[in-house]
Amino acid sequence: MSTMKQSNRKRSSTDFPQGFVWGVAAASYQVEGAAREDGRGPSIWDTFSRKPGKVLHGHTGDVSVDQYHRYEEDVQLMHELGVASYRFSIAWPRVQPAGSGAINPAGLDYYRRLSDALHARGIQTTATLYHWDLPQPLEDAGGWPVRDTAYRFAEYSRVCFEALGDHVDRWITLNEPWCSSVLGYLEGVHAPGCTDRSAAWAAAHHLMLGHGLAVQAYRSGPGAQPDAAPIGITLNLESPRPATRRPEDLEAADRWIDLRSRFFLDPLLGRPYPERHFASYPDHTPPPVQTGDMATIAVPIDFLGVNFYHEPVVAADPSHPEGFRCAESHHETTDMGWPITPRGLYRHLKWVWQTTEGRYPLFITENGCAMPDTLTPDGERCHDPRRVAYLREHFSAALDAVEDGVDLRGYFVWSLIDNFEWAYGYEKRFGIVYADYVNGRRVRKDSFYYLREVISGAETL
Ligand code: IFM
C-alpha cells in the first residue's frame, strides 16, 4: 500500500494528476439567505426549520451568510484560495417557485451573475441541481414518494440546462439522495420530517428516477453537443469496517451497504435494488418500480461524486430488525461526533473504484469537518488546527488512492464558509472561512491559508 512506499518522500498537490480540480463546496439553502427575495418560493426546509424542535435553536436559512447578496466577496475569497472550481447548488424554488410551471427569470439571473463572477476570476462552475430544497408545493402534492416529483425534477433540470448551459462547467443532478430519502422520509430528522419506511423507499426510487430522467433530458438537449459539460451524481456511499473479523460482523457490514450504498449505486450500474434489504421488512412496500425505470436510471453518466466524512464501524446485533448496528469507534471525533478516519477515505475510494469497475472518473465532491474555531481577540484571524490536521490527513489518503490507480479527478472541500448545518442550525461550523452571523463578516481561518498553500503546491502532504 502506497503509504509505506511513500513514507520517505515529500509529496504535494503536484503529485495529483495533471488538471486535478481543487475546489470548495456549498449549497443553496445553507448559504444563500434571501429566502423571500426576487420571487423565490418556499422550500421544504423553510417549512421544516419553522417546526418547533426540528432545528437546533429554531435556526432557519432565511439569512445565513447571505451569499445571495455577498457572492462577489465569496468569489474573491475563492480567487485568493486559487481554487479551480466552486461547487454550488441551484435552488429549485428560486428558479421555479411552485416546483412546476412558471419560471422565475430573477432566480436564473442570480446563477448567471454568480457564474459570471466566478468565470471572470478563472473559476469553473460545478452546479448541483438538487441539494434538498424541494419546492413546498411539490411536498404538498406528496413529495418524493410520489412519482410525479421525478418528472417535475426532470422538467426543472431541463429549464436549467437550457437557461444556464453556457454558464455551467460541470453538472451534478442530486446531492446525497440517501439523505433526502432516509433522513427526510424515514428518520424524520431532515425535511419534510416523515417517518415511514415505505415512503422512504419510494422517495429513494423517485429521486434516482428523477436523476435518470434529468440525464436523458440533458443528453437530448444541450448535452448532445460534443463539447458539452460533463454530468454526474453525488452520493454519500459508505463502505464500513466490520467491528471484528467474526463472520457475523462481516455479514453485518455487508448488509449495512444495502440501504446505504447499493440502493443508490447499483441502479446506476444497471443492477437491481438490493432485494435482501426489503426482505428484512416484510410489512413494508418495496419501491414502486415500473417497467423501464431501471434502464432510465442506468443512463450513462460522466463521473461519480463521492462525499466522505468518516468510515463507520458496523457490528452484528440480533436485536435489530436488520441484524446490525453502528458500533463504537475508538477514533477521535469531530464536533459532529464523527470519527476521524482518513485511512477510511483511502479504503473507501478504492472500494468505490472497484465496485464501479472503474466505470466513472471520481470526484470527492465533499470532505471536511466541523471543529472548534478560535477567533483571535482582534477578530481578524481564526485558528482551527484540528481542521488543518483533518484536511492534511485526508488529502494524503486521497493521494494514496490515486497512487494505487484510482482515477480521482478533483477534491472539493466542504465548505467554503460556515453555514446552516441542517438540523444543527448554525452551531456546527464546517467552513474554512469563519462567518460572523451577526454582521456577515468573513474571517479567514488557518485552514483557508493551509488550503491555499496546498493548492499552490507549496505545502507538503
Ligand atoms: O452540510 C452537509 C451537506 O449539505 C451535505 N453533506 C454533508 C454536509 C455536512 O453534514
Hey, whose CA ends up nearest to atom 9 of ligand 1? 421
Is there an atom of ligand 1 within 6 Å of 176 CB? yes
Q: Ligand 1, residue 422: give the atom nearest the CA.
A: 1
The number of domains in the chain is 1
Decide if 398 contacts 345 (C-beta within 8 A).
yes
160 domain residue, yes or no: yes
Write the DSSP symbol of residue 453.
Answer: H
d(CA 78, CA 60): 25
Is there an atom of ligand 1 within 6 Å of 307 CB? yes
d(CA 105, CA 68): 15
Please write the tens of the pLDDT for every residue from 376-396: 999 999 999 999 999 999 999
d(CA 115, CA 410): 19
What is the mean pLDDT of the segment spanning 282-289? 97
Please write the tens of the pLDDT for every residue from 341-354: 999 999 999 999 99
Q: Quick one: which of 93, 48, 365, 12 has its CA closest to 194?
A: 48
The predicted pLDDT at position 8 comes to 67
CB atoms within 10 A of CB 275: 9
Q: Are strands 21-25 and 408-414 parallel, antiparallel or unpaired?
A: parallel
Q: Quick one: which of 170, 184, 115, 157 has its CA closest to 305?
A: 170
d(CA 353, CA 434): 34
Cell numbers placing 130: 438538487
Cα distance between the two ends of the chain: 17
- CATH number of the domain where residue 424 is located: 3.20.20.80
Is there an atom of ligand 1 within 6 Å of 373 CB? no
122 domain residue, yes or no: yes
d(CA 19, CA 409): 8
Q: Ligand 1, residue 175: give the atom nearest the CA.
A: 5
Please write the tens of the pLDDT for every residue from 88-114: 999 999 999 999 999 999 999 999 999
Cell numbers placing 206: 423517485
Is there an atom of ligand 1 within 6 Å of 366 CB? yes
Confidence class for position 322, pLDDT limits 50, 70, 90: confident
DSSP-based three-state secondary structure for 82: coil
235 domain residue, yes or no: yes
381 domain residue, yes or no: yes
416 domain residue, yes or no: yes
Ligand 1 centroid–CA 1 distance in Å is 30
Catalytic residues: 176, 366
71 domain residue, yes or no: yes
The predicted pLDDT at position 249 comes to 98
Please write the tens of the pLDDT for every residue from 141-171: 999 999 999 999 999 999 999 999 999 999 9
Q: Ligand 1, residue 132: give the atom nearest the CA.
A: 4
Is there an atom of ligand 1 within 6 Å of 49 CB? no
Q: What is the pTM (predicted TM-score) of this model?
A: 0.97
CA 271 to chain centre: 23
Ligand 1 centroid–CA 245 distance in Å is 31
Ligand 1 centroid–CA 109 distance in Å is 26
Cell numbers placing 345: 477515505
Hey, whose CA ends up nearest to atom 10 of ligand 1? 421
What is the mean pLDDT of the segment spanning 123-144? 99
245 domain residue, yes or no: yes
Q: Among 65, 183, 237, 421, which is best to mutate for testing ligand 1, by the most ligand atoms less than 8 A from CB?
A: 421
461 domain residue, yes or no: no
Q: Among 64, 89, 175, 414, which is best to mutate for testing ligand 1, by the most ligand atoms less than 8 A from CB?
A: 414
Q: Who has greater pLDDT, 9 or 266?
A: 266
User: Could you tell me the sign of the dihedral formed by the alpha carbons of 139, 144, 147, 149, in that order?
Assistant: positive
Torsion of CA 148, 304, 128, 400, to 10 degrees: 150
Ligand 1 centroid–CA 452 distance in Å is 22
Which residue segment(s) compose the domain that 441 sits in?
A: 3-456
Ranges of H-type helices in 121-168: 136-140, 148-164
Ligand 1 centroid–CA 92 distance in Å is 18
Query: DSSP strand E in 241-359: where?
Result: 241-242, 303-307, 313-316, 324-326
Is there an atom of ligand 1 within 6 Å of 311 CB? no
Q: Ligand 1, residue 368: give the atom nearest the CA.
A: 9
Of the chain, the percentage scoring pLDDT greater than 70 comes to: 98
Decide if 185 contacts 199 (C-beta within 8 A).
yes
Q: Among 59, 89, 176, which is best to mutate for testing ligand 1, by the most ligand atoms less than 8 A from CB?
A: 176
- Provide the mean pLDDT of the chain: 97
